[in-house]
Structure 1
Amino acid sequence: MKNIDRVLVKYNERLVGYLQILENNRIGFQYDEEWVKNGFSISPFSLPLSDDVYISKSPYFKGLYGVFNDSLPDGWGEFLVRRMLAKKGINFEKLTPLERLTLIGSNGLGGLTYEPIQREYVKNDNMDLDNLALNTKKILESKTENENLDDLFNFGGASGGARPKVHISFNDEEWIVKFGALNDSLDVGFDEYIANKKASEASINVNEFKLFESNRCKGYFGAKRFDRKNKQKVHVISLSAILETTHQIPNMDYYHLFQVIQKISIDKMDLYEAFRRMSFNVLYGNRDDHGKNFSFLYDEELKGYRLTPAYDITKTDYKLEHEMTVNGNSKPNESDLLSIADEFRLSRKICEGIIERIKNIIVNEKDRI
């Protein structure tokens, strides 16, 4: 590992700006002059376009702004990074945030890339998902000391989320395929497929998904990456990052999501889309609805932000409360949902219809492929 004190931030080969370690180990960010003229704000509230030097005051992210922290892996991805570095005698905890970003380089989630790149990803066309699933299980169980971490890192070292996953090429497009965690049922992928199917039928803008075949279970859940389009990266920022907070603390309400939509979304119908997602999560029992599971993408054609397609939709019976409260309630009911509709002046009739449609789909839909 090289010691890094300055990093170039790029977006589809365009220079966005610079991250640099300053006095007292603070980290400064400054947009490139050309980006200020022709680019866009990569974090609408925290990093408006200007030639200022920005220094984060957030108690989270070790001095980074949330938008850069979004690029770093968490959960499974961070687990792989830690294991890979430990095998090479490198202590992950001693790496600076800039050094961690350069490990991800151009393979992070979203559209931002970081140079110098300290580790190249090697393309691997081995698409044996059953074998990859078994290898991840062995690593999670720590049953082997000689696992090929490099291969798994190439497949999933930039991933976020708790469940193991791999990044693959399918039909010449980039997809993410999930495997079960240690305590998951063998058919957790099928369960997520059904959840996404129902959400789609509830008119939620669900990310394109499919069930990949397996010889050991009903299949692996896969979703096409919405942060890639026409071979180009798409800038994405999570709700948590926009508000400079961490999704690991349950400190947000759906009210915050609707507020942000009002402020930055170029499509005000996103308010109704958010209402559908909130209502589905509450009625279906998806309580893993934290601030990193809602994101916004920058639409370069429309010159503004809008909600990304919905993702990480599943049932979480093991969670007793929602990560994000509704109207201040961590165990919300229909009255709480409609209170949000009233607060943001959404049509009561339309929102009541959304709730009834979701309830009917949940009750009547048969779980079949």
Structure 2
Amino acid sequence: MMNTAIVNIWGKMAGAVAWDEKSEWASFEYDPAFKRLGWELSPLKMPLSTEQRIYSFPELRKETGSSFDTFKGLPGLLADMLPDRYGNELINLWLAQQGRPENSMNSVEMLCFIGKRGMGALEIEPAILKQNVNTFSVEIDSLVEIASKMLSKKEPFVANLKSDEEKAMREILKIGTSAGGARPKAVIAYNEKTGEVRSGQTRAPEGFKHWLLKLDGVSEVQLGATHGYGRVEYAYYLMALDCGIEMMPCRLLEENGRAHFMTRRFDREGSYTKHHIQTFCAMKHFDYNRVNSYSYEQLFQTMRELKLTYAEA
């Protein structure tokens, strides 16, 4: 089990994170050379300092009796990289393949599982899963079928894998654990001219752009069937545009009677340029699972703290 890891960004070592098994929280320290660059990754909760400071946030551990574990003892900057419900289900299946019990990864080990495949520009070393140098072709209908089987919990899926299903599961692990959210999704590279779909966790080939795809038609125990959700979300996208809200381009990918919702990734530009991003949850350590606990006024106040211009806000 891994308890320490290196955090990199844009080819530079940003710092190191360590996990304390006893206290169940992580500590992070910026690398001195990185601080001299002046790149503020977490300006509100972990600002750069002339002093050598170690950041830890015990209050971000799971509370006794709570069903939510949003930050898993990590600073928001790093917790943003963690998968959500769907990704955690996939990781538990991988753990079963390794002969380990469910939820037996500590938070730093989970970061290493994500490695270089996370949203945004942060990258973690060492990485547990080998990083693909090249993209691989993705069959959407196969992803839907295997994802449904994996999440149905009606049979010991891992024990009964066929060779082609095992390959599909490895693909899902690489492209399905990077993004947060409860519903099944995949990071892909998509060619709008040919309609070809390839894996999106590495450099996009010529003619391809980075997209996030939400799988339509996956039946899942906790959330039920998702058939038709893609069209509903696309309708909301069109309404948002009519209201003058600026969004990344979205579209539907249709196959076998299903309509998968796709949105262009805002954390990628061109073939492989990575943009650093942070959610409001991570930036202020506001737990998104605490519904109705936060307001737009707090969001606007955060914009003022960051000194955003009107256009940026």
Question: Structure 1-normalised TM-score?
Answer: 0.67
1:137-216 to 2 correspondences below 5 Å: 137-143=148-154, 145=157, 146=161, 147-148=165-166, 149-171=169-191, 172-180=208-216, 181-182=218-219, 183-216=224-257
* Seq. identity, %: 27
The partner residue of 2:141 within 101, 116, 130 is 130
Larger Rg: 1
Give the direction of change, closer, same or farther, for the CA distance of 1:156–1:66 in structure 2 (3 Å limit).
same
Aligned amino acid, residue 268 of structure 1: Y
1:350 maps to none
The alpha carbon displacement at 1:30 in A equals: 1.2
The alpha carbon displacement at 1:124 in A equals: 5.5
SS of 2:58's equivalent? Answer: coil
1:216-295 to 2 correspondences below 5 Å: 216-217=257-258, 219-230=259-270, 231-250=272-291, 251-271=293-313
The alpha carbon displacement at 1:23 in A equals: 9.0
* Aligned residue pair count: 268
* Aligned residues: CA RMSD: 2.1
CA distance in 1, matches of 2:226, 2:273: 36
Q: Any conservation in 2 of the 1:72–1:109 contact (CA below 8 Å)? A: no
- Structure number with higher helix proportion: 1
Give the direction of change, closer, same or farther, for the CA distance of 1:187–1:63 in structure 2 (3 Å limit).
closer
SS of 1:95's equivalent? Answer: coil
SS of 1:221's equivalent? Answer: strand
Q: Which has the higher contact order (CA 8 A, sep 6+)?
A: 2
The alpha carbon displacement at 1:92 in A equals: 4.4
SS of 2:244's equivalent? Answer: coil
Aligned amino acid, residue 39 of structure 2: F
2:93 maps to 83
CA distance in 2, matches of 1:108, 1:129: 21
CA distance in 2, matches of 1:267, 1:57: 33
SS of 2:18's equivalent? Answer: strand
Q: Any conservation in 2 of the 1:261–1:268 contact (CA below 8 Å)? A: no
The alpha carbon displacement at 1:155 in A equals: 2.2
The alpha carbon displacement at 1:265 in A equals: 4.8
SS of 2:286's equivalent? Answer: coil
SS of 2:53's equivalent? Answer: coil
Question: Structure 2-normalised TM-score?
Answer: 0.79
Q: Deviations over 1:29-65 (max 9, x none)?
A: 1111122111322112111112311122333423310
Unaligned runs of at least 5 residues, structure 1: 272-369
SS of 1:79's equivalent? Answer: helix
Q: Any conservation in 1 of the 2:120–2:277 contact (CA below 8 Å)? A: yes
The alpha carbon displacement at 1:203 in A equals: 1.4
Q: Any conservation in 2 of the 1:164–1:179 contact (CA below 8 Å)? A: yes
Q: Any conservation in 1 of the 2:19–2:107 contact (CA below 8 Å)? A: no
CA distance in 1, matches of 2:119, 2:232: 24
